[in-house]
Structure 1
């Protein structure tokens, strides 16, 4: 994992709502409307959080048709695994893009 990917992943997970989304999806995939109800947030807000998680590679979404022809977007957790150690952070720091290095 590059330094930029690690920064993006940690930023995506540094939000309580996104942690709740990941926790809920750990039980299995879910479609957006049901997930919004279970989390207790609006669908537009859920989409914003799902976009951040998807960009970081934490979740993936697929569009499917229901039996009655309605388009439904399902999300599920990817098989991500991150182990943070001093050595991992040092290696990731060495691969940060110049723009990210300037932010530190």
Structure 2
């Protein structure tokens, strides 16, 4: 199970609200949901995954980076039998429970600037000018 507040080496643990936003944003794109679904079936290397999903490798890399940054997938570099470096990806175990209570707890952990709606931030900027 993915602990969103786990320690990543020297990094500070991310508040649960920020991690939840990152996960929801990562899963908020249909192609990234398809990638997670494909990797839930089996781990795969980039070229084969791109062919199976019907996506260019550069676009796939961009989506994989977003999913990896959210902690939903992990990648590893491996050598094939002929000595070629291949990047494999697989789904990282994760579980996020979305209930009103967990959303409220996540919201409480957000930094104040992350809580301001865009329209309020825009009004403040306009008033400052």
TM-score (norm 1): 0.96
How far 1:94 sits from its partner (Å)?
0.6
Distance 1:21 1:88 in 2: 26
In the other structure, the counterpart of 1:14 is 28
Matching of residues 20-31 of structure 1 within 5 Å: 20-31=34-45
Is 1:89–2:103 an aligned residue pair?
Answer: yes
Matching of residues 1-104 of structure 1 within 5 Å: 1=4, 2-103=16-117
Structure 2 residue ranges without an equivalent (≥5)? 5-15, 119-129
TM-score (norm 2): 0.78
Moved over 2 A (4+): none
Call closer, same or farther: CA 1:96–1:66 in 2, change over 3 Å.
same
Distance 1:33 1:67 in 2: 16
Q: Which entry has the higher C-alpha Rg, 1 or 2?
A: 2
Distance 1:74 1:98 in 2: 38
How far 1:103 sits from its partner (Å)?
4.5
How far 1:8 sits from its partner (Å)?
0.3
* Root-mean-square deviation (Å): 1.1
Aligned residues: 104
- The secondary structure found in structure 2 opposite 1:26 is helix
Distance 2:115 2:66 in 1: 21
